[in-house]
Structures are given as structure tokens and as C-alpha cells.
Amino acid sequence: MKLFDRLKAEAAPQWSAYVDHEFVRQLGSGELPLNAFKHYLVQDYLFLIQFARAYALAVYKSPSVDDMRQSLEGVKAILDVELDLHLELCGSWGMSREDIEKAPEDTPTMAYTRFVLDAGMSGDLLDLQAALAPCVIGYAEIGAALLKGGSAAEANPYHRWVLEYGGDAYQDLAKGFGAWMDRTGEAYLTETRYPRVLSLFEKASRLEADFWQMGLNASA
């Protein structure tokens, strides 16, 4: 995960504002108000639909069949598995499929998802990966940290979330994504171009922090 590590180090302020956000801390401690979590969960469902579109865009943009297949895994993970898991999880909190599908997209949801889609469409696969990375790899980092910190204990009402993103399946997916971005970077990154890629990464990290904040605001 060399390119990712460099981006993360150079976007340190945006990165820590995202992964150490108050929402994350309260999610880990279990103190997060239920309204905040529920608002987040519904918006995350709408977010995932757009992320499936972004992975489909990656298939379209892939310079090789191997890249196409790697991107396809992302589309499948969302459309074949994650959306249903989300609906089930929402259901366990008393929200119906209808409630969720009818919910209006909040501004931070639109901001991050459309930013990723436009970054990818106007640039190349590397630009798209740089804009996707804070979500894909950041969730793995957060999940692993919370799991290590004991947040997967049943006493935490949000332990399922921690188990999902801290668990091996998701950790492997994120590692695979990082390795894929590294390979693309080796082929497409120049030092002259680097500041633009970093800027995409910084903006995407900032938009992720805004997404957590949207959750917190919902309980205010």
C-alpha cells in the first residue's frame, strides 16, 4: 500500500479529521445517539448505490481485462451483497426498505459521491482510485482500530458495524484495493501529476469527515 501510505501521510490533517472523527469515537464507545447512527445508515445506503456506479465506471475506464475484473468485484460486492446487508441491518433498527429508498439524499452524501464520479470520469482510473481510497481503505482502518480497541463487544449497540469493517473479509478487500491502486500508480503516476492526485485524496477525505458530521448533526 505504498501510494496510499504516501497520500495518507501527506494528507495527515484531512485524514485524522476523518478517521478520528467524533462520530467514530462515539460509535466505538457505544455512546453515539441512535438517531445519529440511523441517519448515517440510511445515507450510507444511498451512498453505496452511487459507489456501485463508481466501480462500474472503473470497469468502463479499465485499461486491461485484469483491471476490469478487479473493478467488477467492487460492483458485485455492493449490488449482490452489501445493499441487502444494509437493508437487513436497517431492518434490525426498525427501518423498512421503503423508508430507506424514499429517504432524500443529504447534501454530504451527494457531495462525496458525485465528487468521486466526476473525478473518475474526467480523469483516468488512477484519479478514480484516489477518490475512492479514503472510503475503501479508511473504513478498514477505522474498523480494525475499533475492533482492536474492544468495540466489537456485544455491549456496544454498534458491534455489528465494527465486526463488518474490522473483519477479515473487509480487511482483505481493502488490502486488495490498495495493491491495485499501487499497480495503477506505478504505471500512471508522475511527480508532476502527484499534487493533483493528492488533492483528490485530500478532498475525498474531507468529504468523508463531512459525512460523519452529517450523522452527528442528525441527533443534535
- The Cα-based distances of 43 to 7, 47, 55, 99, 212 in angstroms read 27, 6, 18, 11, 10
- Say if CB 212 and CB 124 are below 8 A apart: no
First to last CA, the chain: 38
The reply to whether 57 sits near a second copy by the rule CB under 8 A is yes
- Kindly identify the residues of this chain, within the stretch 92-121, that bind a second copy according to CB under 8 A: 105, 107-108, 110-111, 114-115, 117-118, 121
Query: Pattern of binders to a second copy over 13-52, x per CB under 8 A?
Result: ------------------------------------x--x
In whole angstroms, give the CA distance from residue 60 to residue 63. Answer: 9
In whole angstroms, give the CA distance from residue 50 to residue 113. Answer: 6
Q: Residue 164 CB, nearest distance to a second copy (Å)? A: 20
Query: Pattern of binders to a second copy over 166-195, x per CB under 8 A?
Result: --------------------xxxxx-xx--
The reply to whether 133 sits near a second copy by the rule CB under 8 A is no
E strand or H helix at 72, and its extent? helix 65-76
- Say if CB 39 and CB 95 are below 8 A apart: no
Binding stretches for a second copy (CB under 8 A): 49, 52-53, 56-57, 59-63, 65, 68-69, 71-72, 75-76, 79-80, 83, 105, 107-108, 110-111, 114-115, 117-118, 121-124, 127, 186-190, 192-193, 196, 203, 206-207, 210
